[in-house]
Structure 1
Amino acid sequence: MVETWLRRLMWGRGVSAAGDGLWFTTWALYFTRVVGLPPVVVGVAMAVAGGAGLAAAVPLGALADRFDARHVAAATTGVRGLAVACYPFVDATWAFVLVTVVFVAPANGGNAARTALLAGLVVDDAARVDALARQRVAQHVGYAAGAGGGALVLGLDDPAAYHAAIAVNAAGFAVLVVVLLLAPRPRRLPRPSASPLRDRPYLAVVGTTAVLSLCWAMLSTGVPLWTSRTLPLSLSGVLVVVSSVGIALLQVPATRLAGTTPGAARTAAVSGAVLAAACLLLALSGSLGRHVGVAVVVVAGLLHLAGELGYVAASWQLSLSLMREEARGAYQGVAEAATATVQMVGPAFFTVGLTALGAGGWLLAAGVFLAAGAAVPGLVRRADRQVLTS
């Protein structure tokens, strides 16, 4: 029964991700061109919503421990679907901010509740990570399909097309809600006796590992800013396609590198070093000729892919194997909040670094990746000892 549901969840995540890809391709122009909101209002609303999401991640995860994780995961997903369905009716700034907060804020906590549900149904850590990897593959395939549909919507640039995209996204959330409600009942555990916010070794591991998630802002912000100076503008788009295809093909096999807690720690360290090497190549590419520069950037993109695959696999394994089972929702909420915090500062980190320091910005990023990855094994050994003695 669990295996059947995991397959359904994978497909449900793919359908929901297709709606997300459609929405995230079109939302900026929808808000500014159709709704008529100033870009600064959109940016402020997203920042406020992101902050609310950070604050809500751990409490929502804790609710999944106290109550049925199925219902918490389904409720957060359903609230987000209802919120996005309200966008066509938004006609004032205050309403836009309110709907955006309701849409964005439950996202991190919902992810935590969904992971807690999966952990309640699958006992073995390696099987848990494998299931998460398969979901990520389905998610990326769905994003790609949705982004293709988004391109068509942008080409039409008509309010009706944007509203249709919103309806498709809301329907994707509805599909995922049904899948979550059909999940088997997870294992019952004693109520948690302590908060993960007091588990300093765990906080240190997930906080340091989350620094490696700068790799996402590196690809979405750093590389386009850098290559647009002297290299073809399409190059960053090519790297995104390579990354998406690589994740779809390799994320599941990559989880085997992080099948144990020590293996995950080593994988995180190697991933940090590989991402640092990619940064060094990007710094070098600016001083080379056009053709050689393109080749160097492509190699850096492949290293980035390898580093991202390893980081994601390691972060899953470490966040699951080092948590207390009776508080898995709250612990996953902490892990989600740590990653979301890094994601909030990531675009600014690369924008300011590359603008102010040029190639030196890549050297700074390389140092951050290398230091974060190198710190993980020692922090994991400390956290692992605490798990064994508790």
Structure 2
Amino acid sequence: MVDPTDGRRRGRWRVASPLPPPGQLRTLALATLANTVGLGLWLTGSALYLTRVVGLSPSAVGAGLTVAGLVGLTASVPLGGLADRYDPRTLRAALQLLQAAVAAAYLLVDSFPVFLTVAVLDALLVSGNLTVRAALVAAVGGPEGRVHAFATLRAVANLGTALGAGLAGFALATDTRTAYHLLVLGNVTTYLVSAALVMRLPALPPARVSVAAPRAGRALRDGPFLAVSGASAVLSLHWVVLTLVVPLWAVDRAGAPPVTVSAILLVNTLLTVLLAVPLSRGARSAPPAARTMRRAGLVLAAAMLLYATTVGTPTGPAVALLLVATAVYTVGDLWHGTAGAALAYDLAEPAAIGAYQGVDGLVAGLARAAGPALLTWVVLDGGGVGWLGLAAVFAGVGLLVPALTRWALRARSPAATDAVAVATHQSSSL
């Protein structure tokens, strides 16, 4: 298990590496690094591969990915339930082997129906695997270390995605069928490497608790948990702001040169690698996590207002404001991610961590699916008023989270509270 008190040794290690010191978390971090290098490869090159090599139109690719993304959300809860009953290590490795096969199947795509089939299978595995990964992080970290583990893996994931994106640049620069095929095979390889690394972890059977496991579907009927998860999902729309709205706004409305978009994403990536773990401290349980979520909402709101001020500003100051706003945004983003993970873990039934992570992922996925159309309309069409409205939403939702969390804590059954104590005791004795 992760020892959250081992701060001195971790501090020395981080001077030289973003990876944690040797142990189970380091093994999981290496698996995450391999997995996200592949993610960076595919995210960077997939659109060009599907249009320039396969021959699909951009609208067909967009429509197919939208449908696949929505269908993929249905795997989140069932696979989360499986992670509650079986070893999440073995389950994640098996899913990654399936992902490797599906990733290789992109080499066989030659029409829209085949593309849609492969994309749906890919989305189902991605959605389910994210839920299983959350259960695996909880098993490796234990109740006291899982938020730290989540933050560590997030920093590593950003590093891996950036490395993958950089490697994909060689394929894009070459711009040949062979180069794109090698990019696909590189993605396949990273799944295999990640699965092999995951299997180096010891078996992690579900923790035994002294209370009966909750009935199937309990997470979907847990109103207070859904309320907290829904609030977090609303705040998660900030990711659509960074990846879609800000690039369009920076170039089309603020008049910044296109290279500014790369600088914005680079600032976000570097700060995430550097700050993800330090900003996760103090949010291991629900009450402090709720306060962190409140801060996240207010900081994200401030970032939205900073983005709005770039209109009508000369190019130099506008670029500077965009980068400052992104730095502020990243702090809010990291606080939100840490607090959301802590709340999703701590408010879950201890015997159904996987199922609750599945529901949390489902709610967040629905918000992300609606985000692009909603936010481009609100901000790009609404201008300054749109940014102001979005800032008000982020601030209001953040301020609401502590009250929702208190409601969720009051609604927890005595049996669930007892199970938390048992699970905590078991993890501390391992």
Q: Does the TM-score normalized on the shorter chain lie above 0.5?
A: yes
How far apart, in 2, do the equivalents of 1:373 and 1:363 lie? Answer: 15
- State the distance in 2 between where 1:314 and 1:366 align: 19
- The structure 2 residue matched to 1:241, chosen from 266, 288, 298, is 266
Tell me how many residue pairs correspond in the alignment.
Answer: 389
Match of residue 323 from structure 1: 348
| CA apart distance, 1:268 | 0.6
Residue 69 of structure 1 is matched in structure 2 by 88
User: What is residue 153 of structure 1 aligned with on the other side?
Assistant: 171
Q: Any conservation in 2 of the 1:18–1:144 contact (CA below 8 Å)? A: yes
2: CA distance, partners of 1:265 / 1:322: 11
Using the TM superposition, give the Cα deviation of residue 388 of structure 1 relative to its aligned residue in structure 2, in angstroms.
Answer: 6.0
Q: Which amino acid aligns with 1:278?
A: A
Compute the RMSD of aligned alpha carbons: 1.7
Mind listing any 5+ residue stretches in structure 1 that lack a counterpart? none
The answer to which structure has the higher helix fraction is 1
Q: Deviations over 1:301-333 (max 9, x none)?
A: 111011001101101111111111111110010
Letter in 2 for 1:193: R
The residue that corresponds to 2:68 in the other structure is 49
Match of 1:14 among 22, 27, 33: 33
Q: Are the equivalent residues in 2 in contact too, given 1:60–1:109 (CA < 8 A)?
A: yes
User: Residue 239 of structure 1 aligns to a residue in which SS?
Assistant: helix
* Mapping of residues 189-338 of structure 1, within 5 Å: 189=208, 191-194=213-216, 195-229=218-252, 230-338=255-363
**Of 180, 184, 187, the match for 1:162:** 180
Matches within 5 A, 1:339-354: 339-354=364-379
SS of the counterpart of 1:341? helix
TM-score with structure 2 length normalisation?
A: 0.87
Aligned residue type for 1:199: D
Equivalence map 1:101-140=2 (5 Å): 101-125=120-144, 127-140=145-158
Mean alpha-carbon deviation: is it higher for 109-118 or for 241-250? 109-118
Give the conservation status (yes or no) of the 8 Å contact 2:96–2:191: yes
Alignment partners' CA distance in 1, 2:34 and 2:399: 37
> Could you list the per-position Cα deviations for residues 265-311 of structure 1 after superposition, in whole angstroms to 9, with x for gaps in the alignment?
01111111111111112112203333332232222111101100110
Q: Percent identity?
A: 38
Is the CA contact 1:66–1:191 (under 8 Å) kept in the aligned structure 2?
no
Which ranges in structure 2 are unaligned for 5 or more consecutive residues? 3-21, 416-430
Contact 1:266–1:377 (CA under 8 A) maintained in structure 2:
yes
Cross-structure match for 1:59: 78
> Which deviates more, 108-117 or 25-34?
108-117
After TM superposition, give the deviation of residue 98 of structure 1 in Å: 0.7
> Does the 8 A contact of 1:265 with 1:314 survive in 2?
yes
For normalisation by structure 1, the TM-score amounts to: 0.95
Letter in 1 for 2:258: L
- Who is 1:184 aligned against? 202
The structural deviation recorded for 1:191 is 3.9
Matched, 1:142 2:167: no
* Most deviating of 177-186 and 89-98: 177-186
Provide, for residues 170-228 of structure 1, a one-character-per-residue CA deviation record: whole Å limited to 9, x for no partner: 11111121223333222443543352001111111111112111121111111111111
